[in-house]
Amino acid sequence: MEIFKIVILSLSGLLLLFVGAMRLSNPIKTYLKNSGIKLENDVDLLNEMRGVSAVMLVGGILILLGTFITQLTFTSFVVAILILLGFAIGRLLSIGLDGKPNKLIVQGLIFELVLGAANIFCLITILLKN
């Protein structure tokens, strides 16, 4: 079970770290390539995109620290759940209110739901152990 927890935290952390870093460094190119979204060179829009990207990056770092520092494991699972399911809930709400997005965004939603659920499962096993 411990290996499963490490794998889930690693996947969650690496995903957020990679996507956050890519979107932070070059949001216009990264959004177009990974989400099919064409961002305009608008200072305000880019500022918002980079802000969210920085949260993803820092969250990914904290989640990855939980794989090395035992005292942070619980916190890492909570952060992973909040970020991944937070994005998923927002996307699901948007689908209901705005309509179905493109295939790449739906794929992202599926990854967020699966990893979010896996993090919940791991957190529950930690809570039941104590």
Give the model's pLDDT for residue 80. 98
Greatest distance between any 2 Cα atoms in the chain? 51
For the chain, percent of residues with pLDDT exceeding 70: 99
The per-residue pLDDT for range 98-114, each reduced to its tens digit, is 999 999 999 999 999 99
Q: Check residue 1 and give its pLDDT.
A: 64
Lowest mean pLDDT among 17-21, 30-34, 84-88, 125-129: 30-34
Q: How confident is the model at residue 129 (pLDDT cuts 50, 70, 90)?
A: confident
6, containing H or E segment: helix 2-25
- Number of residues in the chain: 130
What are the domain boundaries of the chain? Answer: 2-129
Query: pTM, whole model, 2 decimals?
Result: 0.92
Q: What is the pLDDT of residue 41?
A: 86
Segment 5-19, tens digit of pLDDT: 999 999 999 999 999
| CA separation for the pair 35, 57 (Å, rounded) | 17
Give the DSSP letter of residue 71.
G
Residue 8's pLDDT is 97
